[in-house]
Structures are given as C-alpha cells and as structure tokens.
Amino acid sequence: MDTSQNPTDLKTDLAKLEKIDWVAATILRFRLGSHPDFEIENLLKRRLNLPAKKYLGSLPVRLLCTFAMILTFFAVAWGFFWFAFSIAGFTNFLRELSVLMTFLMVIIFGIGFSHPLKLFDEKAVEKAGSEVIRSLRVECAEEKSSSEARQG
C-alpha cells in the first residue's frame, strides 16, 4: 500500500518530522549520503527528500575553506615541530622536516582541490524543508476534512 495515500501514516510521519531536528538530520544525510538511523533515513526519503546538490555551497567558498583548513593544520604542526626540535637542538632535522611538510602540503592542496569540503546552505535547507512540512500539514488537514465529510 502506498504510504503517501494513508492519512494516518502522513499524520504519524508529520509528527515524527516535527519531533526530530529535521534540519540537522537532513544535513547529516547530505554529508554521509544516508542518515545513520534507518527509521529517520526512511522518513526523510519518504517525506522530506531534498536534493543535496541543490543546497551545496559555491565552489570558490568550499575551496577557500578547504585550503584555509589545510594551511592552518600545517602552520600549527610546523610551529609545534619548530618549538620542540629547536629546544632539542635538531635544527638540521627541522630544516629537512620543513621541506617535507611543504611537499606534503602541496600534495594535500591538490587532493583538497579535487575533493573540497562539503558545505551546505543550512538556511536554504531550512526554508525548503519548512515549505515541504507546511504542504504536508495542509495535505494532512485536507485528508482529515475529506474523511470527516465522507463519514458525515
């Protein structure tokens, strides 16, 4: 039986959607490909199936955030190594490590360029999801009124 035609299932699904944090669940579903909780995944597929690519942030912003994160990691790591190895007196090793870290950073920048972070527009997801939930409420109310009219 099609669950979209059953008003009790629609009513139950709407109550479940309102109970959970559907914005966070949808974003988690976008990032992982599917929600870890099977019941929530099925609920989101059935009632709030938003396309992830539509809400993906712009490529320049994603690349900038990716490169900033990589650069920050390597700057902090190099600072830690510089501090530790300077105190220990390993200046030659520190010089070689600096060259190695630069090489690794360039490689990871290349990987980051081909696989930037997945950043989603949460406000747009919330707005679109609210519209879908609003339409589900209207549909639920219409089904309720039509079933009362048939009984009356």
Number of domains in the chain: 2
The overall average pLDDT reported for the chain is 87
Short-list 33, 21, 42, CA closest to 118: 33
Share of the chain above pLDDT 70, in %: 93
pLDDT of residue 2: 47
Q: Are residues 63 and 107 in the same domain?
A: yes
Q: Are residues 101 and 134 in the same domain?
A: no
Asked whether residue 47 carries a pLDDT value surpassing 70, the answer given is yes
pLDDT of residue 5: 52
Q: Are 109 and 67 in contact (CB under 8 A)?
A: yes
Which structural domain, as residue segments, surrounds residue 146? 3-53+120-151
DSSP string over 72-103: HHHHHHHHHHHHHHHHHT-HHHHHHHHHHHHH
Q: Which pair of tokens denotes residue 91?
A: 């200046």
pLDDT of residue 1: 38
User: Average pLDDT in the 17-38 region?
Assistant: 88
Q: Are residues 64 and 106 in the same domain?
A: yes
Asked whether residue 33 carries a pLDDT value surpassing 90, the answer given is no
Q: Are residues 21 and 64 in the same domain?
A: no
Q: Are residues 25 and 63 in the same domain?
A: no
Chain segment 74-118, per-residue pLDDT in tens:
999 999 999 999 999 888 998 999 999 999 999 999 999 999 999
Q: Are 133 and 17 in contact (CB under 8 A)?
A: yes
Classify residue 37 as left (phi > 0), alpha (psi -120 to 50) or beta: beta
> How far apart, in Å, are the Cα atoms of 114 and each of 33, 52, 95, 107, 117?
19, 19, 29, 11, 10
Asked whether residue 147 carries a pLDDT value surpassing 80, the answer given is no
pLDDT of residue 131: 92
pLDDT of residue 62: 94
The CA distance from 98 to 79, in Å, is: 10
pLDDT of residue 114: 94
